């Protein structure tokens, strides 16, 4: 690629807004679309989302698990989703939440970020809970291929605080340590001395829209991280565009607002209208 992930993401924001639609072909959604829970149903569902939302949404996020559950046929569909995104110049964030050490973590990076891989995406989600240093092989692969990683930081699920709010030996919360790790990566890829919060490096964070006061209680600020912010929990999970501004302040300009059910549940004929409503609500507040 001839430009960094951060710059491609900014261009997508400028052209299409901050909405990201998850491609989550859960069995109940396939049923709601009157599709068989099969590779053929999966293919129709995923390709329809890609085709209908082209020109409306600049970022799509396939959830790998719902493709993998169909075995090699499902992974083949996932490869087609990636190719379709590439053809339409839609950014593709692969939601895989991989986390391991050494050569295995490098393997995950090669699988989802390396230019030679059929599963190559613009970015992938990763888990830091084997230590932030374990992420380095994936980060290196992202940088080498002008792609990105999104590190789990503060998630909305009720069990998240068990780990994310825990304290490191130095007294920082795990979530704060993860956020500061992202900054340590990103600061190398923005203009020296430039405090513009909207500049984005290759290391993003996953922060739920419904984490509430946890951000301030754990001492996390986002303005100086230069991190893209992948924010699930908008829509069906209860998060709103106003929550984004409260949580992220100036860094709201870096937010990827991820929705799934609120757009997908209306069926194929409702995709564009639902996505447009979600995006308009975001733009009215974030801008």
Three-class HEC string of the chain: CCCCHHHHHHHHHHHHCCEEEEECCCHHHHHHCCCCCCHHHHHHHHHHHHHHHCCCCCEEEEEHHHHHCCHHHHHHHHHHHHHHHHHHCCEEEEEEEECCCHHHHHHHHHHHHCCCCCCCCCEEEECCCCCHHHHHHHHHHHHHCCCEEEEEEECCCCCCHHHHCCECCCCCEHHHHHHHHHHHHHHHHCCCCCCCCCCCCCEEEEECCCCCCHHHHCCCCCCCCCCCEEECCECCCCECHHHHHHHHHHHHHHEEEEECHHHHCCCHHHHHHHHHHHHHHHHHHHC
| pLDDT tens, N- to C-terminus, the chain (287 residues) | 668 999 999 999 999 999 999 999 999 999 999 999 999 999 999 999 999 999 999 999 999 999 999 999 999 999 999 999 999 999 999 999 999 999 999 999 999 999 999 999 999 999 999 999 999 999 999 999 999 999 999 998 889 989 999 999 999 999 999 999 999 999 998 875 545 667 899 999 999 988 878 888 898 989 889 999 999 987 656 677 777 888 888 899 999 999 999 899 989 999 999 999 989 888 777 66
Give, to the nearest 10 degrees, the angle between helix 241-248 and helix 271-286: 40
Q: What is the pLDDT of residues 208-235, one digit of tens each?
A: 988 878 888 898 989 889 999 999 987 6
Q: Tell me if 244 sits within 8 A of 257, measured CB to CB.
A: yes
Catalytic annotation, residues:
97
Q: Burial letters for 155-181: b for 16+ Cβ neighbours within 10 Å, e otherwise?
A: bbeeebbeebeeeeeeebbbbbbbbeb
**CA angle (135, 140, 142) in 5-degree steps:** 95
């Amino acid at each position: 690629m001839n430009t960094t992930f951060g710059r491609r993401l900014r261009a997508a924001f400028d052209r299409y807004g901050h909405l990201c639609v998850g491609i989550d072909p859960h069995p109940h959604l396939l049923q709601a679309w009157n599709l068989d829970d099969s590779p053929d149903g999966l293919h129709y569902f995923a390709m329809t989302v890609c085709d209908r939302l082209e020109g409306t949404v600049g970022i799509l996020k396939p959830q790998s698990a719902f493709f993998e559950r169909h075995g090699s046929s499902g992974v083949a569909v996932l490869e087609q989703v990636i190719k379709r995104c590439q053809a339409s110049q839609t950014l593709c964030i692969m939601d895989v939440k991989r986390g391991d050490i050494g050569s295995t973590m490098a393997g995950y990076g090669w699988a989802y970020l390396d230019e030679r891989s059929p599963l190559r995406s613009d970015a992938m989600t990763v888990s830091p809970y084997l230590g932030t240093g374990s992420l380095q092989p994936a980060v290196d692969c992202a940088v080498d291929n002008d792609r990105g990683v999104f590190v789990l930081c503060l998630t909305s699920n009720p069990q998240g605080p068990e780990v994310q709010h825990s304290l490191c030996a130095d007294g920082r919360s795990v979530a704060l340590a993860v956020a500061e790790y992202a900054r340590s990566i990103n600061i190398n890829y923005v203009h020296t001395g430039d405090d513009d919060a909207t500049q984005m490096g290759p290391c993003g964070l996953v922060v739920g829209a419904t984490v509430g006061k946890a951000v301030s209680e754990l001492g996390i600020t986002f303005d100086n991280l230069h991190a893209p912010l992948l924010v699930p929990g908008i829509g069906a999970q209860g998060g709103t565009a106003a929550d984004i501004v409260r949580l992220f302040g100036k860094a709201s300009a870096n937010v990827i607002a991820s929705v799934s059910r609120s757009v997908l549940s209306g069926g194929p004929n409702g995709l564009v209208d639902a996505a447009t409503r979600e995006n308009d609500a975001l733009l009215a507040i974030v801008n």
